[in-house]
């Protein structure tokens, strides 16, 4: 067994502040990113990339964004799908109206617009909590769904808000094949995962968590609740908006408002609950789980000679999600990420568990 902390002493606070404190963790993460960047695009089939890995990456990104708001800052949001839509439509609008805009800029501008809208709809959080805030973000979802469907100017007068993008390129490099699209998304995910991790381990993250855990005490030590909540809404919406733009541009290619409906908002919420609230790694676990579950549900029964119809599998999916969410909320609010860290803790101290 090679995974452990025994014998690794930190001689300075710099070392103790590293993103991944155990050396094996650092090595593992670098290895995962290297494999994801070098091996996966060579080995994975187009189907695997398009149907599984690209959605997984983009949903992980959106889940990181939502986790900052819900898991770290303790504010609930049922409007994630709508903020993704803002990112996608804003990026698309910029491309249509200023055709020369580079793809990267379009996507970041999508994030920026989502930030503005996110902060706007985050303002009620200064007064409302819990259920009331949930309802107000739900209103954001309905309003934005309606806006993209019914305000033609927002979608350049395309019928019922369905739009499409042409061929993509990133500073002269094509983003066309499955592998290219995959790498493009991977780049975003790695960069934003690092940024998110940096934020949550710094003063900003501590302010968010303080507001989440006990807002009166946070005020008493000088944290401004309005600032902490609105920065959480801003950062969260930016990442969610970027994820939305990627979902539209890279994964779908053509979409309508329904792609970012309430279902999407709930799906993302389920992801972070199952994956782990307040955990960046958990966002990945949750996304993987949600992407894989339907495939497992359609294929596993088949292996046992019990083929399920697509319909049944879809229903079963809901049942399984529902059950799991109840189980996680009751038994392990920190989700898969916690189960993982408990396992890791055991290894970490092995073989001397005292």
CB atoms within 10 A of CB 330: 8
Interacting residues with other proteins between 181 and 210 (CB under 8 A): 195, 198-199, 201-207, 209-210
Q: Is 164 left (phi over 0), alpha (psi -120 to 50) or beta?
A: beta
Could you tell me the smallest distance in angstroms from the CB atom of residue 199 to other proteins?
Answer: 5
Cβ distance 107 to 47 under 8 Å?
Answer: no
Size of the site for other proteins (CB under 8 A): 31
Q: Which of 86, 136, 88 minimizes the C-alpha distance to 116?
A: 86
Place of tokens 């309802």: 135
Q: Does 13 bind other proteins (CB under 8 A)?
A: yes
Q: Which of 274, 268, 258 minimizes the C-alpha distance to 322?
A: 274
Cα separation, 189 vs 234, in Å, equals 18
Cα separation, 118 vs 110, in Å, equals 12
Cβ distance 159 to 140 under 8 Å?
Answer: no
Could you tell me the smallest distance in angstroms from the CB atom of residue 197 to other proteins?
Answer: 8
Cα separation, 126 vs 78, in Å, equals 17
Could you tell me the smallest distance in angstroms from the CB atom of residue 341 to other proteins?
Answer: 11
Interacting residues with other proteins between 266 and 305 (CB under 8 A): 278
Cβ proximity to other proteins, 242 vs 290, nearer residue: 242
Cβ proximity to other proteins, 95 vs 278, nearer residue: 278
Could you tell me the smallest distance in angstroms from the CB atom of residue 19 to other proteins?
Answer: 8
Could you tell me the smallest distance in angstroms from the CB atom of residue 108 to other proteins?
Answer: 14
Cβ proximity to other proteins, 42 vs 216, nearer residue: 216
Interacting residues with other proteins between 215 and 274 (CB under 8 A): 216-224, 231, 235
Cβ proximity to other proteins, 4 vs 50, nearer residue: 4
Interface residues toward other proteins, by CB under 8 A: 13-14, 16-17, 195, 198-199, 201-207, 209-210, 212-214, 216-224, 231, 235, 278
């Amino acid at each position: 067994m090679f995974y452990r902390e025994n014998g690794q002493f930190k001689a300075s606070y710099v070392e103790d502040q590293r993103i991944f404190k155990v050396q094996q963790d650092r090595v593992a993460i670098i290895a995962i990113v290297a494999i994801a960047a070098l091996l996966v695009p060579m080995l994975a089939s187009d189907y695997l990339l398009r149907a599984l890995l690209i959605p997984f990456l983009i949903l992980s990104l959106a889940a990181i964004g939502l986790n900052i708001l819900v898991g770290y800052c303790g504010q609930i949001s049922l409007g994630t799908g709508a903020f993704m839509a803002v990112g996608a439509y804003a990026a698309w609008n910029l491309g249509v109206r200023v055709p020369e805009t580079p793809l990267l800029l379009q996507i970041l501008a999508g994030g920026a617009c989502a930030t503005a809208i996110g902060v706007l709809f985050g303002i009620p959080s200064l007064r409302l909590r819990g259920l009331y805030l949930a309802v107000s973000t739900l209103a954001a979802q309905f309003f934005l769904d309606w806006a993209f469907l019914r305000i033609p100017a927002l979608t350049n007068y395309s019928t019922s808000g369905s739009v499409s993008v042409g061929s993509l390129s990133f500073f002269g490099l094509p983003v066309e094949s499955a592998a290219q699209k995959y790498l493009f998304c991977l780049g975003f995910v790695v960069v934003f995962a690092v940024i998110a991790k940096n934020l949550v381990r710094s003063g900003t993250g501590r302010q968010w968590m303080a507001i989440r855990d006990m807002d009166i005490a946070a005020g008493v030590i000088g944290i401004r609740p309005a600032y902490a909540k609105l920065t959480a809404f801003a950062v969260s919406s930016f990442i969610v908006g970027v994820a939305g733009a990627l979902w539209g541009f890279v994964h779908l290619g053509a979409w309508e408002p329904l792609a970012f409906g309430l279902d999407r908002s709930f799906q993302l919420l389920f992801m972070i609950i199952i994956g782990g609230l307040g955990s960046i790694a958990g966002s990945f676990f949750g996304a993987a789980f949600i992407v894989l579950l339907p495939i497992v549900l359609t294929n596993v029964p088949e292996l046992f000679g019990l083929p399920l119809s697509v319909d049944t599998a879809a229903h079963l999916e809901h049942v399984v999600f529902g059950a799991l969410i109840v189980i996680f909320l009751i038994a392990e609010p920190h989700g898969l990420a916690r189960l993982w860290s408990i396992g890791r803790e055991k290894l970490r101290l092995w073989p001397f568990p005292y």
